[in-house]
């Protein structure tokens, strides 16, 4: 239970009421809720992949670095918490390290469809960047894609 004091009045908000208040505020014109997965440094590019059921495929996800930013080479840039919404995809590795490219980071994610159809997958990029001479930052960005299982 969250307590908020306004003047001499004490207001108690349950977690559900707090979430409803935030949702209402973000639905107002001109009001935008902050998104945890936005990054000033990277642009996410992911292309869906198709493969026969049971056969391996590689899903490539690229994070392009924006002008004025640099990849933090010494950081363990990776994709974590890979999962399939409907268990229609198996992953060779649950954590995939990124490869530094000229314009950002590339992630080669080994997947294998386990049943036919379109299967949403997700995970998180955990990456670092440098801005200017003194700003180092580590951020989490969402990975959202589809793996299509064919027969």
CA distance 105 to 61: 8
83 shares a domain with 59: yes
48 shares a domain with 8: no
143 shares a domain with 120: yes
CA distance 40 to 23: 24
CA 127 vs CA 36, 61, 130, 138: distances in Å: 13, 13, 11, 6
pLDDT one-digit tens code per residue, 74-126: 999 999 999 998 999 999 998 999 999 888 999 999 999 999 999 999 999 99
13 shares a domain with 55: no
CA distance 62 to 21: 36
Report the predicted TM-score, pTM, of the whole model to 2 decimal places.
0.72
29 shares a domain with 100: no
Residue 61 pLDDT greater than 70, yes or no: yes
- Residue 44: the pLDDT is 94
CB-based contact 65:93 (threshold 8 Å): no
142 shares a domain with 101: yes
20 shares a domain with 46: no
48 shares a domain with 17: no
90 shares a domain with 50: yes
pLDDT band per the 50, 70, 90 thresholds, residue 134: confident
Write out the residue range of the structural domain in which residue 29 sits: 1-33
CA distance 65 to 34: 21
Our CA angle for 8, 9, 10, nearest 5°, is: 125
- What proportion of the chain, given as a percentage, has pLDDT over 90? 66
CATH code at position 88: 2.60.40.10
CA distance 95 to 143: 13
52 shares a domain with 22: no
96 shares a domain with 63: yes
Q: Please tell me the total count of domains within the chain.
A: 2
3-class SS at 3?
strand
């Amino acid at each position: 239970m969250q307590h908020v004091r306004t003047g001499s009045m004490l207001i108690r908000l349950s977690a559900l009421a707090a979430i409803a208040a935030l949702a209402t505020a973000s639905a107002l014109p001109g009001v935008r809720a902050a998104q945890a997965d936005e990054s000033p440094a990277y642009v996410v590019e992911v292309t869906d992949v198709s493969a026969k059921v049971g056969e391996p495929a590689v899903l490539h996800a690229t994070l392009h670095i924006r002008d004025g930013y640099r990849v933090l080479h010494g950081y363990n840039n990776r994709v974590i918490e890979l999962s399939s919404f409907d268990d229609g995809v198996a992953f060779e590795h649950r954590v995939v390290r990124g490869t530094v490219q000229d314009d950002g980071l590339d992630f080669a994610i080994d997947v294998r469809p386990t049943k036919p159809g379109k299967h949403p997958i997700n995970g998180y990029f955990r990456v670092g960047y440098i801005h200017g001479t003194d700003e180092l930052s580590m951020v989490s960005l969402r990975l959202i894609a589809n793996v299509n299982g064919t027969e």
